[in-house]
Amino acid sequence: MLKNELMLRNPMRILNRAAEAPLAPGGFGAVLARAGVGKTAFLVQLALDSLIDGRNVLHISLNDPVQKVSLWYREVLQTAAAEQAVREIGPLWESLQPHLFIMTFRVEGFSAPRLEERMTDLTAQGIFQPEVLLVDGLPFDEPTSAAMLADLKALAGRFRLRTWFTVRTHRHEAPGEDGLPPQIQPVGDLFDILVQLSPEAGSIQVQPLRGVGELSLVLDPATMLVRDGT
């Protein structure tokens, strides 16, 4: 019952409906925001939407250990369940866990070949076959990021992965003529969907930058849940 309730009330469905086209296998999406605004919370909710739909999610963290990432998922799920007056999420969490695999890398040790090696081990042994890939913490400011993203794009195509990234932006940097922050401009042609989290008047607006039409979503800074902003 809780699973059905979360599916029906999940605001991420609004994002999917507002997209000009669903993120296809091999496609790239990204959530952009300044530090501390809520990129990871947004990414976890994107992942939970996929998990509830029964899709396998591979979450790559370049900042946090596995235990902390796992706690993010459980806390977001617990908060969402509490809003439905459900106290016990154990059975639902247990049903979702087989569809979630969390990996951590050091930033300086992360690359497309290393990721492909780890993924090939998982798939060849029948341990886990990802359908959605999340990469949290990749530094888009690094000179090598464009080449790495091109390699990851090729990897996503080979494995037919729908891939989402977090992109850290900076307050003092103005967007370019295309409206995109400078971090994403050199690699913007790789991305199908871009959304930005922008703090405004006590809430965090989810603003479409590419691949999404009119959107009315906010990230609640108190709960870090995405909500319908209408």
Position with higher pLDDT, 215 vs 122:
122
Position with higher pLDDT, 152 vs 3:
152
Is residue 46 situated within a structural domain?
yes
CATH code, domain carrying 35: 3.40.50.300
Is residue 102 situated within a structural domain?
yes
Q: Which pLDDT score is estimated for 177? A: 67
Which tokens go with 190? 């790789």
User: In which order are the strands placed within the sheet that holds 57-61?
Assistant: 100-104, 57-61, 132-136, 162-168, 28-33, 193-200, 203-210, 217-219, 226-228
| Bridge partner residues of 226 (DSSP) | 219
Is residue 37 situated within a structural domain?
yes
Is residue 154 situated within a structural domain?
yes
Q: Which pLDDT score is estimated for 79? A: 87
Is residue 146 situated within a structural domain?
yes
Position with higher pLDDT, 36 vs 179:
36
pTM: 0.92
Q: How many domains does the chain have?
A: 1
| Bridge partner residues of 208 (DSSP) | 195
pLDDT at 7 over 70: no
Name the range with the highest mean pLDDT among 81-90, 110-119, 170-179, 207-216.
110-119
Q: Are 50 and 57 in contact (CB under 8 A)?
A: yes
Which tokens go with 84? 């439905």
Give residue 61's identity as a one-letter amino acid code.
Answer: S
% residues pLDDT > 70 (the chain)? 92
Is residue 18 situated within a structural domain?
no
Residue range(s) defining the domain that contains residue 105: 2-13+23-228
3-class SS at 133? strand
Q: Which pLDDT score is estimated for 8? A: 46
Q: Which pLDDT score is estimated for 105? A: 94
